[in-house]
Amino acid sequence: MKRFLLILLMGLGTSLVQAQSNEKYAKDVSSVDNIIAALYNVICGAPGEPRDWERFKYLFGKDAKLIPTGKIEGGNFLYRTMTPDEYITMFSSRIKTGFFEKELKRETVSFGTVYHAFSTYETRETENGPSTNRGINSIQLFKDQDRFYIVNVYWCAESMGFTLPASALK
């Protein structure tokens, strides 16, 4: 009986934490503008500044992926996939400078529950410092009854040898 009560209380505690997260981040997932703003905002900060990874994970749907592209020796291109948790581990272990990413322009198309945003970004090591990279995030979103979920973020940076077309900038 004690074990049953303990399990019940743990379940209620988890439900309360999830309900608090739902309320805390509800505005973040209420529109395309809000979820993309939250995505950029949550990863930005000075060196050593903690990120709100709970907020970050709340933006994503089940089975969501983050998909960076890269270039390997010999000039070949590749991509890899990461879960939000794997992205957090990679980001936390590799980003030692400040990291500030902002959206420069966005084109969004949608049909029913499917939304796609082509979001041009710029990164900096300090909030007002010089640009260190630019690129495009291809962000796929799922629209449920009352919220949006990020399904995939697939990106390519100018540092891979590409130049952003004028149409991708304001």
In Å, how far are 12, 44, 145 from 49, measured between CA atoms?
32, 9, 35
Burial code of 63-92, b = ≥16 C-beta within 10 A, e = fewer?
Answer: ebbbebeeeeeeeeeeeeebebeebbeebe
Q: Which of 3.90.1150.10, 3.40.120.10, 3.10.450.50, 3.40.605.10 would CATH assign to domain 28-168?
A: 3.10.450.50
Residue 24 pLDDT > 50: yes
Nearest to 153 by CA among 14, 49, 39, 1: 39
pLDDT tens digits for 72-106? 988 899 999 999 999 999 999 988 899 999 999 99
Adjacency order of strands within the sheet including 60-71: 77-79, 60-71, 148-157, 131-143, 114-124, 100-111
Beta bridge partners, 148, equal: 143
Residue 31, SS3 per DSSP: coil
pLDDT tens digits for 35-85? 999 999 999 999 989 999 999 999 999 999 999 999 998 889 999 999 999
Residue 21 banded pLDDT, cuts 50, 70, 90: low
How high is the pLDDT of residue 73?
87
Residue 72, SS3 per DSSP: coil
Contacts of 164 (CB under 8 A, 6+ apart): 120, 134, 135, 136, 158
> What are the domain boundaries of the chain?
28-168
pTM for the whole structure: 0.86
Residue 23 banded pLDDT, cuts 50, 70, 90: confident
